[in-house]
Structure 1
């Protein structure tokens, strides 16, 4: 099964009104801004999209509206993070029906499955649909590790085409390549390890901070693709304090606050998440505002990246 999932893929935030009701129109406006900035694909309903805070119908409605808006310009994937394998199959089938181009599939939520159970979950979902699948490995957040050996075992299933590697262990990029060759497209899923991952052979980036800084994400990606490593490093050094926000348990609140500071959407989250207040809010705002003041600019006809000072 062909896979074209390379480049920058935002894990898009889901917008809510002040009463915590889902705001489809505001979310689609944000998706449009990301498309205008040149992202290579869209991932709805991931962790940053507060998947587990939405009910099934909300997920379906938002995914359907996004597919219609994007209109085939770039791939649209949906996160699949359900409590049981049967629920994951049912949602995946509906995602296929409304036109999603693929799945970003997680292990079943809450229960900590062993290797055999995890593989069975992934295989069962794959058997239920005819879509390509990005396997999402995030043992830091979800306490289930899909190892290179497990990916090797699953390599006979052609619907598994890509891996979002979020173990925070960049050795995994090389270990998967050594074990599985080029069987999978590898995407970095940890914002503040992206340059390291791209050097080691990752072909894509599933990003959270791209929601607030889409042009800068694309700039970093383009510099790497052009082999302009010194400029890429300069941008990455500027970006890293922001990218650290993606690895905190409150990454959704942090990214949504960055969205607001950059003119995108609302910072409203659904409980049990709460808005940022006090010293924590002030500290995160300082990181965001310092970055905005010194953000990269293109300053010459050659397109060299420099930092505003």
Structure 2
């Protein structure tokens, strides 16, 4: 498992009856890999995992492993209400051929460190796969601070990376100050990627990459190579879109952007609903403005018509 580069948190495509559209997801995965993405993260928050059945989750993993697993690593997010269900999904992901896991705190329950450590440790122990810890206190209310991450790293060899989504890039430098290069650090919020790389992050679990993979990979590479002016010029164009990744309706917004650029539909599963009214008008304005000033970056064309 190579924890490096731009790894999309893939959206889950739905057909007109809100069933999983596996055919579209195959084409979407192939397209993002063809445009330079170094791995694919399935069943995350952006993938609407909380609305998927266990059977749907396993089917999605098997589909994407068969599609792209020989080319790039496929990572399964592990999220559940209970520790037992999380462990079951971790084992299913390994059986499906995934290369790594992105481990989340439990849904709903916001426990203390003793409880959260026990939950994460149980998943790490239950799998031979390389694991990334997903720290997102904004969305999940559980904050894995650097000192706690050090504790986990000292006890679990397969704990290999952190997706840092606290929105505070100082966390990247704090983790590195305590652990050096023991863990790979990924930025998990789109509008902090350049700053995160400057602090030592070497990966990006990205959202808007679902619609703009070529631009996302180019931005990551420019920032990693230290080409500050070129990176900022591209970042400045991209930021109004990237900020859509950091608000409560990020799933609806990103799927709408996909639809507008012809690589998906805006369909979401309830309780989410597609955006309407002023929200829709403002999002459409941002997308049209971005497309009118879109930089010239080589992109492999999307080969499957959006439905």
TM-score range, shorter chain: over 0.9
Give the whole-Å Cα distance in 1 for the aligned partners of 2:76 and 2:256: 23
Whether 1:250 aligns to 2:254 is: no
Q: Deviations over 1:203-258 (max 9, x none)?
A: 00110000011110011122123321100010001111101100010000000000
User: Please, which moves more after superposition, 108-117 or 290-299?
Assistant: 290-299
- Structure 1 pair 241/119, CA: closer, same or farther in 2 (3 Å)? same
Give the whole-Å Cα distance in 2 for the aligned partners of 1:225 and 1:138: 23
After TM superposition, give the deviation of residue 33 of structure 1 in Å: 1.1
Match in the other structure for 1:144: 142
Match in the other structure for 1:35: 33
After TM superposition, give the deviation of residue 132 of structure 1 in Å: 0.5
User: Please, which moves more after superposition, 225-234 or 97-106?
Assistant: 225-234
Match in the other structure for 1:21: 19
1:90-105 aligned at under 5 Å gives the runs 90-105=88-103
DSSP-derived class of the 1:271 partner: coil
Match in the other structure for 1:69: 67
DSSP-derived class of the 2:134 partner: strand
In the alignment, is the contact (CA less than 8 A) between 2:197 and 2:224 conserved in 1? no
Match in the other structure for 2:162: 163
Match in the other structure for 1:266: 265
Match in the other structure for 1:289: 288
Q: CA RMSD in A?
A: 1.1
DSSP-derived class of the 1:187 partner: strand
Give the whole-Å Cα distance in 2 for the aligned partners of 1:33 and 1:102: 21
DSSP-derived class of the 2:269 partner: coil
Give the whole-Å Cα distance in 2 for the aligned partners of 1:30 and 1:4: 21
- Structure 1 pair 103/298, CA: closer, same or farther in 2 (3 Å)? closer
In the alignment, is the contact (CA less than 8 A) between 2:6 and 2:217 conserved in 1? yes
Match in the other structure for 1:305: none
After TM superposition, give the deviation of residue 298 of structure 1 in Å: 4.7
Superposed structure 1 runs of 4+ greater than 3 Å apart:
none
User: Please, which moves more after superposition, 239-248 or 176-185?
Assistant: 176-185
Match in the other structure for 1:116: 114
In the alignment, is the contact (CA less than 8 A) between 2:146 and 2:171 conserved in 1? yes
Gaps of 5+ in 2: 299-307
Give the whole-Å Cα distance in 2 for the aligned partners of 1:166 and 1:125: 20
1:79-94 aligned at under 5 Å gives the runs 79-94=77-92
- Structure 1 pair 61/230, CA: closer, same or farther in 2 (3 Å)? same
Aligned residue-pair number: 297
1:126-205 aligned at under 5 Å gives the runs 126-156=124-154, 157-205=156-204
- The two structures have a TM-score, normalised by structure 2, of 0.95
Give the whole-Å Cα distance in 1 for the aligned partners of 2:111 and 2:275: 33
- The two structures have a TM-score, normalised by structure 1, of 0.94
